[in-house]
Amino acid sequence: MSGEEAVDALRTLGLSNYEARVFVALQKLGRGTAQEVSRLSEVPRSQVYGAADSLGERGLAEVVEASPKAYRPVALSTAREVLTDRLERETSRAFDRLESLRTTAADQRDGQDVSVLRGRHPIDDRIASLIRSATHTVVFVSPTAASLTADITGALRETGANEIDVTVVTADHSLEDRFVTDPVTVFVMSEDNPADFAGRALMVDDRTVLLAAETEDEPVDEEAVWTGDSSIGRILAAFMRSGMESGRERHAE
């Protein structure tokens, strides 16, 4: 990683431009005066003092009371811990504030339109959340065992334990063993029709549907659309029901 890349990374972690440049310069010098740091970092000498003192207040540098005044960086392991803790605190504070702003009305509207999700992790989270919201029926199309995260597996088990009808449709026989002791029905379909397993799919209560497919567009690895208690959701649920029945009939032949 170049010096400029290190500066950019440190700015992402919350340091100002001058603080990041001074910190990188101190790592190279080991110990340096404001003049030495300025020469290496290209930060004006008058600004080095403030940036270095700020690093000292953050616990990222030591102020050496000498003549002239000098600065020394803390160990990288210490800096990593300091910046990580700060980032976690700021992240927690930001989301606590967002949570307090989230209204009940927003929750009630959630899912009534068609929404698009991009990225495996957000899609996994939405699938697990929708499964846990079920009141009577869950059908999850999981082409392979890799389509199931630990959280989704847990959501299916928890929901089935609440006397809700939970079915997993798959082409992977190993899922039968995974849910053998759980109140989850596993239906293994053949792959005669590739369209049956074009991606993951979820139906909840015959009205909420999520459809996901892998994508080759970097860096997004999966995209999904989902809709809740809406006419579109009910129509898609009817198609899923029809496809399942058709698959059962082919399987029985």
- Per residue in 160-176, pLDDT (tens digit) is 999 999 999 888 888 88
Q: Which H helix or E strand runs over 188?
A: strand 185-188
pTM, entire model:
0.59
CA 237/CA 143 separation, integer angstroms: 18
Q: Which of 83, 91, 77 is nearest to 10 (CA)?
A: 83
110, pLDDT greater than 60: no
Where do the domains of the chain lie, and which CATH numbers do they carry? 3-76 (1.10.10.10), 111-252 (3.30.870.10)
pLDDT of residue 109: 46
245, pLDDT greater than 70: no
Residue that is written with structure tokens 């540098």 in the block? 61
Average pLDDT for 72-97: 86
Residue 61 DSSP SS3: strand
